Amino acid sequence: MKRMMVLELKRVVKTRSTWMLAAGALLLSVIMALLVISFARHYYLGENDTKVRLTGRKAIQANQERLKSTEGLLTPEKIRAAFETYHEVYETYGAKREDIPKDIYYQKISPINPILHGVLEVYVDKSTGIPVPLHEIAPEDAATFYEQRTERLADYLSHRYKDAPDVIEKALAINGRIKAPFYYVYGVGDSDTSEYLTMCIFLLVMICTVIAAPIFSADYQSGADDILRCAKHGRWRLAVVKILSAILLTTAVFTVCVTMFILISYAAFGWGSLETTLQLAFSAISFVPLTIGEVNMLVVLSGLLTFLATVCFTLFLSTKFKNPLTTLGLAIAGCLLPTILSFAGSGTNLENWIRLCLPSGGVGLRNSFFFELTEFHFLSLGTINVWTPYIIPVAAGIEIILFITLAIRSYSRNEAY
């Protein structure tokens, strides 16, 4: 079995298309990481009070220096001080940004913007849901940010899930595990790294689907399978070897490419920024008790499970069709179906269950584990309400075992023809 595995791996690895696809996947991962870095922006006043823009690595370094005073634990005292600074500027120049001199804005307001935006999200008019203007939030009120945040979350959940009190209870129970005060460091959480990591995983799923599609179908089409079946171990053992070799190869491609993306992007934005609390990077009323680093780690782990489920589904299709193009077409359609449902679907409970339980349900252009983790989605299953980030990895884990079993069975039964 071990020797068969080595021979099968050599056979697949030596294929020119495999090398080209693997190299393309690696290049794509590097490009996407560099794109995230290139999107960084920093503005300052140059000569003659002209506005100067920095991009890329220089912008990241400038932003790190600009926000150094804001970094660390976001204590009530720090929030109060930030709003005292804001009110000093407001009382002199008013609330409109264009009325504030650029040098004053860059020196006093810009460094505290992460604090102002976080507080602004939790102070809303309860009758309209419209955020309260910053100048109407007194420094002593802003200092009660953490209490106000919990109240705002409870109000939001009560409005959205007024007919499902158990959802409110579950969400608030998860929220109770969040540590306060929050922690902030400029970097990964201020960029699109998490979104591009998700997109990178989605593209890797597509590329490795192309690698896996001909594993069985190509032998059917060439007639080599007729010869292989005559060998001593040319039945279910050969099926196991082909499946495991395909999984090992595609997983290696996934691991190298994702690692490269992470190393490049994290090195640019700073590893220390991974400790930033999720609520300061995405939504202040999110009830997920994680840091940015923990979120991205879960995105990768869930992405790997989704990746394996999709590859196993593709291998199962490959055992059923003699034409590799037919296998590839159906596999690509399966990869895109969750994305299509997220854009064109009606968003019903059943439709969302189908979308999330599909092999590629954890990755997509608009649907992914990351977006489910940062949203407030629960799906009902009878009398039970399930938080959607729980569905994706569980479904993918089941599908990995299911499609491996079905692929072995399909190939073994196919030998009679």
Q: For a pLDDT cut of 90, what percent of the chain falls above it?
A: 52
- How many Å apart are CA 387 and CA 351, to the nearest integer? 15
Domain edges within the chain: 2-38+188-414, 57-176
**Virtual CA dihedral for 237, 243, 244, 246, nearest 10 degrees?**
140
Q: Which two tokens stand for residue 22?
A: 């693997």
Q: For residues 371-377, give the mean pLDDT.
A: 88
Residue pLDDT, tens place only, 190-226: 888 999 999 999 999 999 999 999 888 876 666 555 4
247, 16 contact by CB (below 8 A): no
pLDDT for the residue 414: 66
pLDDT at 109 over 70: yes
Residue pLDDT, tens place only, 22-36: 999 999 999 999 999
181, 74 contact by CB (below 8 A): yes
Q: How confident is the model at residue 411 (pLDDT cuts 50, 70, 90)?
A: confident
Name the pTM for this structure: 0.89
66, 89 contact by CB (below 8 A): no
Tally of CA atoms within 13 A in the half-sphere of 263 that contains its CB: 9
Which residue, chain included where needed, has tokens 């009398």?
A: 383
pLDDT at 310 over 90: yes
pLDDT for the residue 6: 72
Length of the chain: 417
For residue 346, report the phi and psi dihedrals to the nearest 5 degrees. Answer: -85, -10
- How many Å apart are CA 381 and CA 223, to the nearest integer? 47
Q: For a pLDDT cut of 70, what percent of the chain falls above it?
A: 93
Q: How confident is the model at residue 417 (pLDDT cuts 50, 70, 90)?
A: very low
Q: Which residues contact 404 (CB under 8 A, 6 or more apart)?
A: 243, 312, 315
pLDDT for the residue 413: 72
pLDDT at 375 over 50: yes
Residue pLDDT, tens place only, 62-94: 999 989 988 999 999 999 999 999 998 888 888
Q: Name the residue among 120, 99, 121, 100 with its Cα closest to residue 109.
A: 100
